C-alpha cells in the first residue's frame, strides 16, 4: 500500500498553462505539506496544512494555490506556468513531530 | 544564515565499510528535531532516522545511526557496513518549534557513492 501518493508522476506543459498536482495519504495523518526541489536538488517548503487549515505559506507566488478538500488530500494548483516553475514537487505528511513521509514526487517540466 | 550545513558535496566509501555524513545546524530554539533522508537516483525521498533535541540517546535504525552532539550543533549520519544500494543523495533536515509549523529546512545534500 502506498502511504503518500501523487499524480501525475511526470507533467510536461507549456508556459502560460494551468495545471494541478494531486496528493493523497492513507496514513491518517493530520498535517500535509508541499515541498519544491529545484534543479540543484535544493528542497524548500511551500505550504503546510493541518486538518484542512493552511498553517504555512512560505512566500510562494500567488499563482500557486493549495487546496485541501479533506485531511487525506492536498492538491496543488499552478496558474500561468513559467519556465522557473520546472522542478520536482513533493507532497509529505506527518502526525507527530518525529516523522515526515514524502510522496514519490511529481516532475514538472515547463517548455 | 544557513540553518543546515552539509559540507561534503560528495563522498566515496568502499563496500562494507562505515561512512559518516556530516551535518551541522543552527537554531536558538530549544525544541527541535533533526531528520535524515535518502534520495536514490529514482528520485523518491526515503525517511531514514530522526533525533529530537531532548532525546537522551542517539537515534539508531538498523545500519543507520545518528551521532548527535548538541553542544557542537552537529547531527552526523553514520552508515555501517555500506552496501552498493546505499549510493544516493543524503539530506539532513531540521524541524524547529511548533510555531514554525513543523516545516523541514533542508541542507544541500551529500552524494554518496559506494564502490565495490
Q: How confident is the model at residue B72 (pLDDT cuts 50, 70, 90)?
A: very high
Q: Decide if B26 contacts B74 (C-beta within 8 A).
A: no
Q: For residues A47 and B81, what is the distance between their CA atoms, to the nearest angstrom?
A: 38
Classify residue A95 as exposed, middle or buried by CB count within 10 Å of its CB (0-12, 13-18, 19+).
middle
* Whole-number pLDDT of residue A27: 96
B 30-89 residues with CB below 8 A of A?
33, 35, 37, 39, 43-47, 50, 52, 89
Q: Is the pLDDT of residue A5 over 80?
A: yes
Write the DSSP string, A17-66. Answer: --EEEEEEE-S--SEEEEEEE-TT--EEEEEEEETTEEEEE-S--TTEEE
* Whole-number pLDDT of residue B67: 97
* Whole-number pLDDT of residue A58: 87
Closest chain B CA to residue A55:
B101
Q: For residues A54 and A56, what is the distance between their CA atoms, to the nearest angstrom?
A: 6
Q: For residues B79 and B17, what is the distance between their CA atoms, to the nearest angstrom?
A: 9
Classify residue B102 as exposed, middle or buried by CB count within 10 Å of its CB (0-12, 13-18, 19+).
buried
* Whole-number pLDDT of residue A46: 96
* Whole-number pLDDT of residue A18: 98
- Establish whether the linkage from the previous residue to A8 is cis, with ω within 30° of 0: yes
- A104 touches B: beta carbon within 8 Å: yes
- A95 touches B: beta carbon within 8 Å: no
Strand-pairing partners, residue B68, are: B75
pLDDT, tens digit, 9 for 90 and up, residues A15-51: 999 999 999 999 999 999 999 999 999 999 999 999 8
Q: Is the pLDDT of residue A1 over 70?
A: no
Chain A positions in Cβ-Cβ contact with residue B100 (cut-off 8 Å): 56
* Whole-number pLDDT of residue B19: 98
* Whole-number pLDDT of residue B101: 76
* Whole-number pLDDT of residue B1: 61
pLDDT, tens digit, 9 for 90 and up, residues B80-108: 999 999 999 999 999 987 777 789 999 99
Is A94 close to B102, i.e. CB distance below 8 A? yes
Q: Is the pLDDT of residue B45 over 70?
A: yes
Nearest by CB to residue B47, choosing from A41, A100, A104, is A100
- A25 touches B: beta carbon within 8 Å: no
Nearest by CB to residue B101, choosing from A43, A56, A90, is A56
Is A90 close to B105, i.e. CB distance below 8 A? no
Q: Decide if A58 contacts A47 (C-beta within 8 A).
A: yes
Chain A positions in Cβ-Cβ contact with residue B47 (cut-off 8 Å): 99-102
Amino acid at each position: 500500500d502506498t502511504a503518500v501518493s501523487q499524480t501525475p508522476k511526470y507533467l510536461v506543459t507549456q508556459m502560460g498553462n494551468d495545471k494541478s498536482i494531486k496528493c493523497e495519504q492513507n496514513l491518517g495523518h493530520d498535517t500535509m505539506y508541499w515541498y519544491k526541489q529545484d534543479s540543484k536538488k535544493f528542497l524548500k517548503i511551500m505550504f503546510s496544512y493541518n486538518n484542512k487549515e493552511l498553517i504555512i505559506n512560505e512566500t510562494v507566488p500567488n499563482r500557486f494555490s493549495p487546496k485541501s478538500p479533506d485531511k487525506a488530500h492536498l492538491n496543488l494548483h499552478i496558474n500561468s506556468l513559467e519556465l522557473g516553475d520546472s522542478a520536482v514537487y513533493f507532497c509529505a505528511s506527518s502526525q507527530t513531530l518525529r516523522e515526515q513521509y514524502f510522496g514519490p514526487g511529481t516532475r514538472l517540466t515547463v517548455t | 544564515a544557513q540553518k543546515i550545513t552539509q559540507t561534503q558535496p560528495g563522498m566515496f566509501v568502499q563496500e562494507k565499510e562505515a561512512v559518516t555524513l556530516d551535518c551541522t545546524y543552527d537554531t536558538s530554539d530549544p525544541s527541535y528535531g533533526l531528520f535524515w533522508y535518502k534520495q536514490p537516483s529514482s528520485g523518491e525521498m526515503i525517511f531514514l532516522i530522526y533525533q529530537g533535541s531532548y532525546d537522551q540517546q542517539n537515534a539508531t535504525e538498523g545500519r543507520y545511526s545518528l551521532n548527535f552532539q548538541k553542544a557542537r550543533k552537529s547531527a552526523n549520519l553514520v552508515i555501517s557496513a555500506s552496501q552498493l544500494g546505499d549510493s544516493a543523495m543524503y539530506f539532513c533536515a531540521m524541524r524547529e518549534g511548533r510555531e514554525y509549523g513543523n516545516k523541514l529546512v533542508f541542507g544541500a545534500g551529500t552524494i554518496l557513492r559506494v564502490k565495490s
